[in-house]
Chains A and B, each alone.
Chain A
Amino acid sequence: MHQLLTWVVEPGFFTSEPVRAAVVTGSAVAVVSAVAGIFTVIRGQSFAGHAFGDIAAAGGSGALLLGLSPLTGFIGLGIIGAGAMDLIGVQRVRGRDLATGIVLGAAIGLTALFLYLDTTASATTGAAQQVLFGSIFTTATTTLPVVVTCSVLVAAVIAVIWRPLLLATVSPDIAAARGVPVRLVGMAYMLALATAVGLSSLTIGAILSTALLIGPAATALRLTRRMGWALAAACLIGVAAIWAGILLAYDSYYWGNTHQGLPVSFFIVAVIFAAYLLTGLAGRRPARPHGTAVPSAGDAIRDQVAA
Chain B
Amino acid sequence: MFAGFMMNTWAVATIVAPVAGVVGYFVVLRGSAFPAHAIPKGAFAGAAAAALLGISTLIGLAVFSLLGALGIGALGRRTRHDVATALALVMMLALGAAFLSRTTEYEPEIYSLLFGEILGVSATELLPVAILGAACIAAILLLYRPLTLSSVVPEIAEARGIRPYRIEIAFLVIVALATAMAIPVVGALLIFSLMIGPPAAARSLTSHPAIAMLLSTAIALATVWIAIAASYQMNWPVGFFVGTFAALSYALGRGCAAWHRTHATAPALHAATPDA
Contacts and interface: CB of A to CB of B under 8 A. Distances in A.
Interface of A: 41, 44-47, 49-51, 54, 88, 90, 92-95, 97-98, 100-113, 115-116, 125-126, 128-129, 132-133, 206-207, 210-211, 214-215, 218, 222, 260-263, 265-266, 268-270, 272-273, 276, 280, 286-287, 289-296
Interface residues of B, number: 72
Nearest to A207: B93
B196 A98 contact: yes
Interface string B61-83: 00000000000000001111111
B32 interface: yes
Contacts of B165: 289
Contact of B192 (A101, A113, A272): A101
A46 B236 contact: no
Contacts of A97: 31, 33-34, 82
A102 B250 contact: yes
B243 A106 contact: yes
Given A44-B82, A98-B276, A289-B77, A105 B110 contact: no
Given A112-B237, A211-B90, A273-B87, A293 B31 contact: yes
A128 B36 contact: no
B97 A207 contact: yes
A104 B33 CA distance: 11
Contacts of B97: 133, 207, 263, 265-266
Nearest to A205: B97
A272 B93 CA distance: 14
A109 B95 CA distance: 25
5 contacts: A47-B85, A50-B89, A98-B31, A116-B240, A293-B34
B131 interface: no
Interface string B212-247: 000000000000000000000000110111111011
B243 A108 contact: yes
Of A51, A126, A291, A295, chain B has the most CB atoms within 10 Å of the CB of A291
